[in-house]
Structure 1
């Protein structure tokens, strides 16, 4: 057993081997150059003169590469090698913890695998923990990331096994490499009544060259079966494409058009009006001019008030509300835009007063749609219950704007928006999923609907569903009789025997329970604007 100040057997053996061979271990880390008169460090490339003496080479390793272990380095009297630091064993708990942390960082922040090849990143890790060896890009990609994926997949699978009902959203998209992918995301309420979302799959279609409804349906069904959740799907949310609607019919699942996508279609249709499109095109041309000229953009920034400098926004059809944002920003900075355009040769003509008036009307009309899109685009809160009330709000707001518009172009756009609401949005009030969502939201209840007939139909459907749910929960108690009241001995009252018979006939059924519970809920006060329906029903 070695003590402080002694040398281990392995060290003695190493020293003996070195003496026997006649060559210092230093030469494992240096190579001789210039006919043996100099040596270059293999780690950093530093060159030293040497005539066989390795003292300066050994000193270099000790100062600049303290983690390198040399058998023949001189030992300090009374202690073992204090400067020797071994790398973590590949099975070390510490190494595994850092491996997982790096993998999660790369995955969660969407970093490239090449991050681990960056010298600055390796330097950072070495400063934090010199004993940790940064993995190669190949190891990160094919070992650590796959291990992390397997861990998260097992965790999600365990969670989904406990969930009875969930919904999915899915969409097709094209990468920069012109490859088509389909992403499927599931949404559910966990045991703590917290809304959760998880991406189940991002894959190429089974037949990459075929975007038919059948091929998409086969791809989606394969993912749902893989996670064993097909029988738990309550609804599938997609865009308004007919192929996606048919896909839902093939897999026999209820389809719900994405509300935010529908709002975007309405806005795009209104902006394509013959009387509106010219001024929108002019706005695009102005923004493009500034984006393509650094000098003009610099003049534009200098023309604005100090401390209130804004940038221009470009309209992108596939990016929701981008046209609204572009027009809103142009109105805000129009004075600075006009000043630069009038003083710049070959620049587009600035907006006229009539065009600015049209843009002001467009902003008034599209602002409610922008607000509605933001409210229904959250992934952390319940939004399905907001759809019908938002449609009612849009209908009411459009009616109120009739007295606030200043141009005939604005009135024409208003007519189109109202027609689009009728054709595209009122349909949500007749859909079961959105009906139930609104009725069960303690802020809206029956008051969140536009049509009383739809309220009546939705209430009956909800009553039937709750009755069916009660029967499933208590299948043996379809008819439940109330307990017969006991009478004290000697107090028999024959005059009230009829009352006992009538009480016996009073049978409580699941439907009666459903009606009573819903009536109590509807009659209770509506909650405040910021209430969370999940918290309400969890209590």
Structure 2
């Protein structure tokens, strides 16, 4: 995202990060209110650091302009943790208020349709409630754009009616009520009810859905005891500097890579997998370190170490799909159905699977299927068919594929009258146009739509690493009718990760 408005001030995100990296601690923010600008020169638009290492469907990758160490400098160097403001956003707000930079937030062009507004509520450690709203759309040059519209401190409780009004107030402020087509949120009941009160399409976060299926499947599986023991072992070495030093010593002694163990955090996606991978990789190290200590831990037995390795294999596809769908620098909405199909195939039981693995796979598939039924599948199907990589619809049952093409044909027929009426407003009077149409030998709208569909279906599919937006940029002239729909449907993110 190029710029980010903090509260009342519209400040480029790169400038705020430059400022925070220069300060010795957050305490100095208030004392330096007399300053009128950052010490470092403001970065030009487009050089703001990327939010994360994007997995671009093997299509592209981006890297941050700042290292993690540089951004964390204010906390790491000389700052008393007890004196640092509890609320990070208050510190950011103070920094933003003293930056007086006349650089307005970039907004969509006048003719651009804002395909989706993603929103997310969260509560800070000081128990303050916040609302974040981001905007996503495809420009006329077929570039995917994302902007942070606001970060608001909210006072009302997160009831459905209040959530609806909060979003509509942001939409009215940015004059995007008529341009927004979908709203992306998590699957919380208040969010679902809030969007139901609006006229917009709802896009639930698919990453949340996948991770909830993982949690539910693990709750009633044969991995519970093995995971509990692994958590206690990791906690034993993470919470004591002496024990952590013992792990490092054993890693050196055994010729292993020096790396700390990772603790599972229930609210952090894929952290359970990362814990299992790290502790399994250091199995010999952990056993050797425990043998040198007096402790009351019940270590995993050989069968449980085997279960942890099997669990790593099971969770790896879920991590891949979660990270794949969580990007914002590439088209993700059209990848949802192929990704869920990929997960179903990976969770197919085989003859070599133990009973507890079969039970996990069965539970996961059932839970995922029930959650997928609650998605906006009609929108996802159109987005998939408009992606030249997945337009063969192999991710859908054969009996459902023609129905999607029929739906797309009907949408084109609805688009044609609207497009023609817009053209008539700038041309000859409607009555004369009607007379000309009556006397011409041109094909009917139905006869025009069907060849357009057939031409698109005849196009070869592109490779997974190719960008669908680049394809549309070079083929929009040949498929003008479909291009307007691709503009609308491909811009919708599959998750709310960019907003979070």
Give the alignment's TM-score, normalised by structure 2: 0.72
**Partner residue of 1:299?**
246
The equivalent position to 1:180 in structure 2, one of 129, 138, 157, is: 129
Task: Indicate how the Cα distance of structure 1 residues 514 and 354 shifts in structure 2: closer, same or farther if over 3 A, else same.
Answer: same
Q: Distance in 2 between matches of 1:194 and 1:108?
A: 27
**Partner residue of 1:132?**
none
Q: Distance in 1 between matches of 2:329 and 2:92?
A: 35
SS in 1 for 2:137: strand
Q: Distance in 2 between matches of 1:138 and 1:218?
A: 26
**Partner residue of 1:474?**
420
Q: Distance in 1 between matches of 2:181 and 2:216?
A: 31
**Partner residue of 2:468?**
533
Structure 2 residue ranges without an equivalent (≥5): 1-9, 41-90, 425-432, 475-500
**Partner residue of 1:215?**
162
Please say if residues 166 and 234 of structure 1, whose CA atoms lie closer than 8 Å, have aligned partners that are also in contact. Answer: yes
Q: Check if 1:362 corresponds to 2:311.
A: yes
SS in 2 for 1:165: coil
Pick the structure with greater CA Rg: 1
Structure 1 residue ranges without an equivalent (≥5): 1-99, 127-136, 485-503
Deviation digits for residues 350-392 of structure 1 (CA, Å, limit 9, x no counterpart) = 2111111211221121111111111101110110000001111
SS in 1 for 2:259: coil
Compute the displacement of 1:209 (Å): 4.1
Higher RCO, Cα 8 Å, sep 6+ = 2
The equivalent position to 1:509 in structure 2, one of 440, 444, 458, is: 444
Task: Indicate how the Cα distance of structure 1 residues 451 and 374 shifts in structure 2: closer, same or farther if over 3 A, else same.
Answer: same
Compute the displacement of 1:274 (Å): 5.2
The equivalent position to 1:319 in structure 2, one of 268, 273, 277, is: 268
**Partner residue of 2:114?**
165
Please say if residues 385 and 434 of structure 1, whose CA atoms lie closer than 8 Å, have aligned partners that are also in contact. Answer: yes
**Partner residue of 1:434?**
380
Task: Indicate how the Cα distance of structure 1 residues 481 and 403 shifts in structure 2: closer, same or farther if over 3 A, else same.
Answer: farther
Give the structure with the higher percent helix.
1
Task: Indicate how the Cα distance of structure 1 residues 479 and 366 shifts in structure 2: closer, same or farther if over 3 A, else same.
Answer: farther
Q: Check if 1:402 corresponds to 2:350.
A: yes
Give the alignment's TM-score, normalised by structure 1: 0.67
Q: Distance in 1 between matches of 2:267 and 2:13?
A: 32
Compute the displacement of 1:335 (Å): 1.1
Q: Distance in 1 between matches of 2:217 and 2:470?
A: 39
Q: Distance in 1 between matches of 2:156 and 2:39?
A: 45
Instruction: Supply the RMSD in Å over aligned alpha carbons.
Output: 3.2
Compute the displacement of 1:466 (Å): 1.9
**Partner residue of 2:28?**
114
The equivalent position to 2:193 in structure 1, one of 246, 252, 259, is: 246
Please say if residues 114 and 135 of structure 2, whose CA atoms lie closer than 8 Å, have aligned partners that are also in contact. Answer: no
Task: Indicate how the Cα distance of structure 1 residues 293 and 516 shifts in structure 2: closer, same or farther if over 3 A, else same.
Answer: same
Please say if residues 122 and 130 of structure 2, whose CA atoms lie closer than 8 Å, have aligned partners that are also in contact. Answer: yes
Deviation digits for residues 37-79 of structure 1 (CA, Å, limit 9, x no counterpart) = xxxxxxxxxxxxxxxxxxxxxxxxxxxxxxxxxxxxxxxxxxx
Please say if residues 103 and 140 of structure 1, whose CA atoms lie closer than 8 Å, have aligned partners that are also in contact. Answer: no
Q: Distance in 2 between matches of 1:479 and 1:357?
A: 78
SS in 2 for 1:210: coil
Please say if residues 233 and 297 of structure 2, whose CA atoms lie closer than 8 Å, have aligned partners that are also in contact. Answer: yes
**Partner residue of 1:328?**
277
Please say if residues 470 and 510 of structure 1, whose CA atoms lie closer than 8 Å, have aligned partners that are also in contact. Answer: yes
Deviation digits for residues 414-437 of structure 1 (CA, Å, limit 9, x no counterpart) = 111111122123554x62221111
Deviation digits for residues 23-45 of structure 1 (CA, Å, limit 9, x no counterpart) = xxxxxxxxxxxxxxxxxxxxxxx
Q: Distance in 2 between matches of 1:337 and 1:174?
A: 37
Please say if residues 478 and 509 of structure 1, whose CA atoms lie closer than 8 Å, have aligned partners that are also in contact. Answer: no
Compute the displacement of 1:302 (Å): 2.0
Task: Indicate how the Cα distance of structure 1 residues 478 and 226 shifts in structure 2: closer, same or farther if over 3 A, else same.
Answer: farther
**Partner residue of 1:151?**
103
Deviation digits for residues 90-116 of structure 1 (CA, Å, limit 9, x no counterpart) = xxxxxxxxxx99995324675558369
Q: Distance in 2 between matches of 1:170 and 1:448?
A: 32
Task: Indicate how the Cα distance of structure 1 residues 536 and 103 shifts in structure 2: closer, same or farther if over 3 A, else same.
Answer: closer
**Partner residue of 1:340?**
289
Structure 1 outlier segments of 4+, above 3 Å: 100-104, 107-113, 115-118, 137-144, 475-484
**Partner residue of 1:70?**
none
Q: Distance in 2 between matches of 1:240 and 1:188?
A: 22
Q: Check if 1:226 corresponds to 2:173.
A: yes
Q: Distance in 2 between matches of 1:450 and 1:337?
A: 45
Q: For this pair of structures, how many residues does the alignment match?
A: 396
Q: Distance in 1 between matches of 2:191 and 2:262?
A: 32
